[in-house]
A and B are shown apart, each in its own frame.
Chain A
Amino acid sequence: MRLAGFAARVACAVSPLLPIPGVAAENAAVDLDWKTRFVGEAHSPREDSVFAAGLPLTSFGRDRARLEQEARGRVGPVSLLATGTVSGQEGARPSRKLLVNEAYIDSGSGENRISAGKKILSGDVGYGFRPIDVIQREARLQVLPPALEGVPNATLGRFSAETAYSIVIANPGHGRGSDPRDDGSLALRYYRRAGGADLHGVARFSDRFRVETGTAMSAVPHESLELHASFLVQRRGERQVPLAEPASPGDLLTPDRAVETQTLGSAKKALAGFTWTWESGWSFIGETWWDGTAPTAADWRRLASQARQRGALAGAPGVPAEAVAGSLAASTRLFQLPGLSRRAALAHLAWTDPAGGGWTAALDVLRTLEDGGYSATAAAGWEGNRWRLDAGLRRSGGSPDSAYRLLPERGLAFVGISVAF
């Protein structure tokens, strides 16, 4: 009920901004569904990692768990998603967080619609990579991820049976944030049904990327086959790279310089993929993509080389061990990027129990084509009337100095248990 009370305050705060007759009267009730979820992850560190000396300062290789309480539904006219999380990590004190993931009002009359508040604004057609998801910038291929956090926005849209236009003011009043999804931006989104195909378009204006324009399509030419593709051009791009060469010992030991931002004149991202579904409950997704803002194979080789140089500095006269550890830890920030390779291919094989027993299984293999790395995930799940169980394993590896071979973890085992009320 604390969440409901909070949501009501949000509703009160937001509703005067949207003087739409009838909205409050139409949606007077509190209607929330609750879900409790436990997620546990056991991580296997890579003992021979070149970053080993810095890993105690990071979360790599540490087992962790979290308990989430999720409320989803409506409080008066406000659509609400809120999560309370207690999380713990090996070697750290438990922490608590209350997050309003979404709190927004959708309303309007006829074909003209408005939205205001904090709302998930995912877009695009891909599974493993989404070039035109330029507003939400949803992280992909995570295991049992927490609920997405919406983007503060005001949106004006016009919908007909076949087309939709919307103007989205995201993070109003913000300039450039620490993360691109926190940047203030203005976007125009377009959707059209053309025959049997879906066409999507987006143009986004922000200080960081100037103009981003993209398009995507998906179509189902056969009862078992879905095809999709997506393409984005950024007028100005950014990518994270290791410290530029040549680097002095002083540079190598400066944590803030371990990973630098490189500005690109322009950048492109592209995706092509398909889904094939069998009557027996099996489905297969194949995708390949290009991400001009992701690190290159040469970047990973340089990161590994610099890690070895930092390691070699340990024990040298006048070099504190903390400085080596700090700079090594800082250099692992490159692994936190949403994509670790410019060219990648994904195979996703999934099975749904055709007998309706609620069982599912999936195998994902992500291959980074430039450097020969891979990440493989096997997962199984069961869903009952209210309970859902998930469990799986992830393993990373590949060619020496490939991104997934350098990753300071060999893999992880995960389990998730949720119950809905």
Chain B
Amino acid sequence: MFEFRRPLRRWIFFATALLLAVPARAADVKTLLKEADAFRLSGESVRVDTEVRVLKSGSLDKTRLYAVYVKPGRRSLVVFRSSSERGQKMLMLGDDFWLVVPTSQRPLRITPMQKLLGDASTGDVASLTWAEDYDGRVEGEAEIDGVPCLKLDIAGQRRGVSYPRIVLYLAKSDRRPVHAELYVASDKLAKQAAFKFGDVDGRKLVTLMVLTDHLWRERTTEVHYLSRSAKTLPDHYYNPAFLARADIENR
């Protein structure tokens, strides 16, 4: 009897420790992701003006301009501002996506997969946080370009995320994102991201994200964050039926 109880007690101890440890580790990762997000977004409700430069074999192929309105609750509205794309808008509400093209002026429901297609994936432009969408674990430590980093392996918690898996490297010193490996649904490494920082109103923020395409190696996408300003659009601006209205472009 005694011999039986000791292993049982030991098992209960380890099981309890494991149950307590898993949420603690998950919470740690969430905290780390929130700290990393703070280097990408300057507030909860913001307008981010973004310029995307697509380079092929090092030379500039395309330039696109976007105004991205982000609001808590995983809401993003992307207004396309380049002359060749004028009138297009894309709305992301959690896992649901809509696109308005100027030729028709009706909100068109699109799949999460469709938002990844096109020149510069609008998913790369519109998704500015990890903490709301991802969870995972700290895999260990690594040095990236001489920067000691924590290596996180995080998985999308929702089907609408652009990349279901990300291996993310955060600087140990301040948790800023240094490098990311972005995997598509088939678990292929699609892109690698590097981040550059600047002083924005006294805060250290990401001013450039460089995406190197792993599947199409000659292609590089530079996402320049031109400006960030506090902007809270009313909730009805995030209604798909509102997208056909010009009020959005007046903001």
Is A381 at the interface (CB under 8 A from chain B)?
no
A110 to B82, CA, bound (A): 28
Across the interface, which residues of A come within 8 angstroms of B235, CB to CB?
A: 160-161
| Interface locus among B18-26, B141-149, B199-207, B241-249 | B241-249
Given contact pairs A111-B236, A113-B245, A161-B238, A228 touches B86 in the complex (Cβ within 8 A): no
Across the interface, which residues of B come within 8 angstroms of A122, CB to CB?
A: 104-106
Count of chain B residues with Cβ under 8 Å from any Cβ of A? 55
- Which chain A residues numbered 5 to 55 have a C-beta less than 8 Å away from chain B? 26-27, 33-35
Say whether B86 contacts A388, CB under 8 Å.
no
Q: How far is the CB of B106 from chain A (nearest CB, A)?
A: 4
Say whether B242 contacts A279, CB under 8 Å.
no
Count of chain A residues with Cβ under 8 Å from any Cβ of B? 67
A74 to B250, CA, bound (A): 9
CB-contact partner of A226 in B105, B109, B117, under 8 A: B109
Q: Mark A119-160, 1 if CB is under 8 A from B, else 0.
A: 111111100000000000010000000011000000000011
Is A354 at the interface (CB under 8 A from chain B)?
yes
Q: How far is the CB of B150 from chain A (nearest CB, A)?
A: 29
Across the interface, which residues of B come within 8 angstroms of A27, CB to CB?
A: 250
Is B234 at the interface (CB under 8 A from chain A)?
yes
Say whether A223 contacts B112, CB under 8 Å.
yes
Q: Closest residue to B248 on the A side, CB-wise?
A: A106
Is A352 at the interface (CB under 8 A from chain B)?
yes
A73 to B249, CA, bound (A): 10
A-B contact count (CB 8 A): 150
CB-contact partner of B119 in A74, A125, A277, A358, under 8 A: A358
Is A97 at the interface (CB under 8 A from chain B)?
no
Given contact pairs A122-B105, A218-B109, A283-B114, A198 touches B240 in the complex (Cβ within 8 A): yes
A81 to B86, CA, bound (A): 11
A352 to B116, CA, bound (A): 10
Is A107 at the interface (CB under 8 A from chain B)?
yes
Q: Closest residue to A225 on the B side, CB-wise?
A: B111
Is A316 at the interface (CB under 8 A from chain B)?
no
A352 to B216, CA, bound (A): 14
A72 to B160, CA, bound (A): 32
Q: Closest residue to B186 on the A side, CB-wise?
A: A279
Say whether B87 contacts A164, CB under 8 Å.
no
CB-contact partner of A224 in B104, B111, B219, B239, under 8 A: B111
Q: Which of A121, A275, A354 has the most CB of B within 10 A?
A: A354
Is A1 at the interface (CB under 8 A from chain B)?
no
Across the interface, which residues of B come within 8 angstroms of A33, CB to CB?
A: 83, 86
Say whether A356 contacts B86, CB under 8 Å.
no
Is A355 at the interface (CB under 8 A from chain B)?
yes
Say whether A279 contacts B102, CB under 8 Å.
no
Is B31 at the interface (CB under 8 A from chain A)?
no
Q: How far is the CB of B187 from chain A (nearest CB, A)?
A: 11
CB-contact partner of B105 in A120, A218, A384, under 8 A: A120
A105 to B245, CA, bound (A): 9
Across the interface, which residues of B come within 8 angstroms of A147, CB to CB?
A: 103
CB-contact partner of A191 in B95, B240, B245, under 8 A: B240
Q: Closest residue to A72 on the B side, CB-wise?
A: B86
Q: Mark A186-223, 1 if CB is under 8 A from B, else 0.
A: 00000101001010000000000000000000111011
- Which chain B residues numbered 100 to 159 have a C-beta less than 8 Å away from chain A? 102-114, 116-120, 159
Is A386 at the interface (CB under 8 A from chain B)?
yes
Q: Mark A278-310, 1 if CB is under 8 A from B, else 0.
A: 110101000000000000000000000000000
Say whether B84 contacts A159, CB under 8 Å.
no
Is B213 at the interface (CB under 8 A from chain A)?
yes
A55 to B26, CA, bound (A): 74
A104 to B244, CA, bound (A): 12
Q: Closest residue to A158 on the B side, CB-wise?
A: B236
A105 to B246, CA, bound (A): 8
Say whether B113 contacts A279, CB under 8 Å.
yes
A241 to B95, CA, bound (A): 47
A372 to B45, CA, bound (A): 55
- Which chain A residues numbered 400 to 421 have a C-beta less than 8 Å away from chain B? 420-421
Is A385 at the interface (CB under 8 A from chain B)?
yes
Q: How far is the CB of B14 from chain A (nearest CB, A)?
A: 37
Say whether A385 contacts B63, CB under 8 Å.
yes
Say whether A352 contacts B117, CB under 8 Å.
yes
Is A179 at the interface (CB under 8 A from chain B)?
no
Say whether B102 contacts A72, CB under 8 Å.
yes
Given contact pairs A33-B86, A161-B238, A191-B241, A355 touches B104 in the complex (Cβ within 8 A): no
Excluding A74-B249, A352-B117, A355-B213, 17 further A-B contacts by CB distance (< 8 Å) are A35-B83, A72-B87, A73-B86, A79-B246, A113-B247, A123-B106, A159-B236, A164-B236, A164-B239, A224-B111, A279-B184, A281-B117, A356-B119, A383-B119, A385-B63, A420-B82, A420-B84
13 contacts between A and B (CB under 8 A): A33-B83, A122-B106, A159-B242, A164-B236, A193-B239, A220-B96, A283-B117, A352-B117, A352-B118, A355-B216, A358-B119, A385-B84, A421-B83
Name B residues whose Cβ lies closer than 8 Å to a Cβ of A.
54, 56, 61-63, 82-84, 86-87, 93, 95-97, 102-114, 116-120, 159-160, 184-186, 213, 215-216, 219, 221, 234-236, 238-242, 245-247, 249-250
Nearest first, the 5 A-B pairs at minimum CB distance are A164-B241, A355-B216, A420-B84, A159-B236, A161-B235
Name A residues whose Cβ lies closer than 8 Å to a Cβ of B.
26-27, 33-35, 72-74, 79, 81, 104-108, 110-111, 113, 115, 119-125, 138, 147-148, 159-164, 191, 193, 196, 198, 218-220, 222-226, 228, 275, 277-279, 281, 283, 352, 354-358, 383-386, 388, 420-421
